[in-house]
Amino acid sequence: MKFSFSPAAALLCLALSFTGCAQAADTHEAAFSKPEALIITDVQKRAFQLGSNLLSKQHYRGNSLRQISAGVFDNYLDTLDFNRIYFLKSDIEELSVHRSTLAQTVRKADLSPAVQIFERYRERASALNAWILQRLNQPFDLDGTATVHIPNNLRLGSSHLPWRETLEEVHAYQEARLTDTLIRLRMGGRSQEEAIKKLISRYEMQQKSLNQMTVEDVFDMYMNNIALRFDPHSSYLSPRSTEDFDINMSLSLEGIGATLSYEDGKITVRELVAGGPAFKSGKLRINDRIIGVAQDKDGEMQPVIGMRLDKAVRLIRGKKGTIVRLLIEPASPNMPETEIALERDTIKLEDQAAQGYVESVEANGLTRKIGVIRLPSFYMDFEGARKGKENYRSTSNDLSNIIKNMKAQQIDGMILDLRGNGGGSLYEAVRTVGLFIDEGPVVMVSDVENSAETQHDSDKGALYEGPLAVMVDHGSASASEIFAAAIQDYRRGIVVGSNSFGKGTVQTVIALNRFVSSKVPPLGEMKITIAMFHRITGESTQHKGVVPDIALPTSADIEKVGERSLPYALPLKSIKAADYQSSDEVTPETVSALQRQHEQRMHSKPALLRYQEYINREIAEKERNEWSLNLAQREQQYQDWKSYVENYAGIQTQEMPALQSDQKRRKDIEKRNAVIDSEADKEYFVPDAGLFETLYILFDFIEHAHGGQVLDKAA
């Protein structure tokens, strides 16, 4: 780590003791008002006992509280101070008496360790915030040679660093972080004075939020850290969070359509819902951080750094048609902070529905018609199905209609694009597999006792029997992995793309009040992982994901974005294979031949060579973790990258054949750009090189596996 700071700042670092920093808050009295005392309630003690014991007895992992105690202690520290900027090494040594006491504290319903650790965190954080507000009144050097180390993946970065030993070390690192944030603000178009004013307001609000944290906040945080130690998909749902969960499950939520998590004290984008305002905007991306929220077009921006996740979500959520403005800190330190405005909307089933296109592919003097179906999720109109509505909207029903239409157009092959498909209805995934196979098992589910249940496609015959390719990437998870795995295991089609996410677990929600009398107030619920999905081969998609037959270039490192990157993810487990009969449509010899032809194109076609170079450049940008604290250098780096992307998009658009499948995306970008005044903020349309190459892979597959014959053309 390298850093530099002004002499004035150095003197301040040395002069301010821990107590002195707290006293420095006098100039920001409103922000540093005394917080309320944290007094644990009997209801929270009861929920602590019931929830913790429920996890240890019913979770798929089967660990005892004694086994996870040290992990819970470390998780809690990481949640409070992931970047190692508040606690000192001496604090950790003092607090480590709680490292092995979880089982005893659960038995006694004693939550005092959680409170004690949080109080030390709040004390340290308040002192550092006071120091920061003093430091912001001193000059910053944005023309020097200093650098700062920023981990390129939050989950895999700072938590492995040692705790700092002195306040001087803490202040020095915070000096570098402040300078980096100041540079981001300057790159976003603010003057030095405006940027400093913004930072002062941000840290005052952060301190105010810190002081307003309640015993409920601390309890929820601690309970979720206990659940996290079992696996990343288990959690505690407070009575209020339970209400939010029910809203999400009913699909009636009005908001921006994004799944958010709390990392490094910031609200982080984990998933974008297909068809939602955030997805449609094109301006919010996975791993971006939301650091401020404002209402309507002229509402004051409220910082949400350090704010409890559910509170921040309530600021972001709102009625359909209203505007929410978000201050975004992009995942890449090379990008400036930016403000985006989104119109809240209800996520409609139609926005997540399958869309079909027919593409023409020419090679070797032949032209093939290939159907492409984009499937953002596995959806189902549960209300329509329950009422017995004829032709209710669902993935399998919609795909049936699209396939029939494509067959009427005499297609030669079909691509099912599951990139970014985060899952959805297991029932619909099984039914959709049934459109492409005769009949048989599709997926197995094992419980903690290793007993397995098999989900079958029981409808004889397949609606489509022709050449098939399935596209997956790191965003393909859960139900989409079940579909791709079944197609691969039956050798029914080829899987193309990059390694899928690797979520192969099943959760259930258990109300804690079911274990107590009806007179007890609401205790909340536990979401617990109770089972694992398995392919019909007996292997699981958990952790490993679905490995494509033919790999396409990707900038996503599955070790950093997939299930295996999540703390305490369950390991892959195998069970006995199901009784099934695979076809001979996709043989190892065919895959080898397709791989050779794919590699030949990747090394010879200009559009694909540019595509690979673009991916390599994107990987280099993501992997960079040492950043200059020189404003001019950072601005030049940003402009260089922006110019490169613009040139790449322009050349690819000119030289790659226009695909029908790209037209909707192109029109969406044009609509968004039409209401943006600044040319610098406008998006570039980039042709889908991955789909372009997959069309040729399927073209080759038709030639190799089927001798060039056109199959399954009857309507």
Residue with tokens 């015959």: 461
Where does 274-355 have alpha helices with state H?
Answer: 277-281, 309-316
Q: Give the C-alpha separation, 46 to 51, whole Å.
A: 8
Judged by DSSP in three states, 216 sits in helix
**Amino acid, res. 64:** S
Where does 282-436 have alpha helices with state H?
Answer: 309-316, 382-386, 395-408, 426-433
Q: Give the C-alpha separation, 443 to 352, whole Å.
A: 24
Up-side HSE of residue 275: CA atoms within 13 Å toward CB?
A: 19
Token readout for 338 is: 């930016």
Burial label, 72 (beta-carbon count in 10 A; 0-12, 13-18, 19+): buried
Which letter does DSSP use for residue 447 in this model?
A: E
Q: Active-site residue 460, yes or no?
A: no
CA dist 249 → 242, 304, 349, 358, 458 (Å) = 11, 25, 13, 34, 28
Q: Active-site residue 583, yes or no?
A: no
Nearest residue to 466 (alpha-carbon basis) of 408, 412, 415: 412
Beta strands in 518-648 (DSSP E): 525-534, 550-551, 626-628
Residue with tokens 């308040």: 126
Q: Are 424 and 378 in contact (CB under 8 A)?
A: yes
Which letter does DSSP use for residue 377 in this model?
A: -
Token readout for 513 is: 């009040």
Catalytic: which of 198, 280, 407, 503? 503
Catalytic: which of 81, 180, 412, 489? 489
Radius of gyration of the chain (CA): 27
Up-side HSE of residue 452: CA atoms within 13 Å toward CB?
A: 24
Q: Are 488 and 432 in contact (CB under 8 A)?
A: no
CA dist 695 → 365, 374, 422, 471 (Å) = 16, 14, 23, 11
Token readout for 1 is: 């780590």
Nearest residue to 222 (alpha-carbon basis) of 63, 58, 102: 102
Q: Active-site residue 478, yes or no?
A: yes
Token readout for 438 is: 């005769």
Catalytic: which of 52, 209, 241, 478? 478
First to last CA, the chain: 65
- Residues annotated as catalytic are 478, 489, 503
